[in-house]
């Protein structure tokens, strides 16, 4: 099984991963389970365990244009100059590293990062329009990834 995990908080651009997961949960891709994870912290370890593959979706800040989609292999986390927006108690990169050290990560995994505005530049209540528009592209990308991952399992 492939687990798709949308990560974030319900505030501003940090909600991008949650909104993607909520959209996908309404009509999950075949062969995938969708989880909406509001600031999962250490609970992310449990979500990474026991599946063949995982796709994480979260807001990121790398200095790229707002709304840019970043496609990373989980093995690439963390990467210098690339920060996951972490309003989470335990950051995503740290949780992946810890899960890897404990032997609890799936054999295959991707991170879909959505370039977000810094909290001070964005509304705390609404996503910026550019990041909001990236959500639709991210949903399509996740469908493509699930299709590819299920064709190799």
pLDDT of residue 125: 73
Q: Which residues contact 2 (CB under 8 A, 6 or more apart)?
A: 29, 31, 32, 33, 51, 52, 53, 54, 55, 146, 149, 150, 153
Q: 53: closest CA among 133, 130, 144, 153?
A: 153
* CATH number belonging to domain 2-152: 3.40.50.1450
Q: Quick check: 2 and 146 in contact, CB under 8 A?
A: yes
Residue ranges of the domains in the chain?
2-152
State the pLDDT at residue 78. Answer: 59
CA angle, corner 131, sides to 63 and 14, nearest 5? 80
List the chain residues with pLDDT less than 50.
Answer: 80-81, 85-88
Contacts for 58 with CB less than 8 Å, ≥ 6 apart? 6, 7, 8, 16, 17, 84, 85, 92, 111, 112, 113, 114
80 Cβ neighbours under 8 A, 6+ residues apart: none
pTM: 0.85
Share of residues in the chain with pLDDT > 90 (%): 56
**pLDDT of res. 134:** 97
User: What local confidence, expressed as pLDDT, does residue 59 receive?
Assistant: 92
């Amino acid at each position: 099984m492939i687990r798709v995990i949308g990560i974030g908080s319900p505030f501003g651009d940090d909600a991008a991963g949650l909104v993607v997961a909520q959209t996908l949960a309404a009509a999950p891709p075949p062969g995938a389970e969708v989880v909406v994870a509001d600031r999962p912290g250490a609970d992310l370890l449990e979500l990474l365990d026991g599946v063949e593959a995982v796709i994480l979706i979260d807001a990121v800040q790398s200095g790229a244009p707002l709304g840019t989609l970043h496609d990373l292999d989980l093995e690439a986390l963390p990467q210098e100059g690339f920060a996951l927006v972490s309003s989470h108690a335990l950051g995503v990169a740290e949780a992946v590293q810890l899960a890897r050290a404990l032997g609890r990560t799936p054999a295959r995994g991707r991170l879909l990062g959505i370039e977000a505005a810094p909290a001070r530049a964005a509304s705390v209540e609404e996503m910026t329009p550019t990041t909001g528009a990236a959500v639709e592209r991210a949903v399509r990308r996740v469908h493509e990834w699930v299709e590819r991952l299920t064709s190799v399992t």
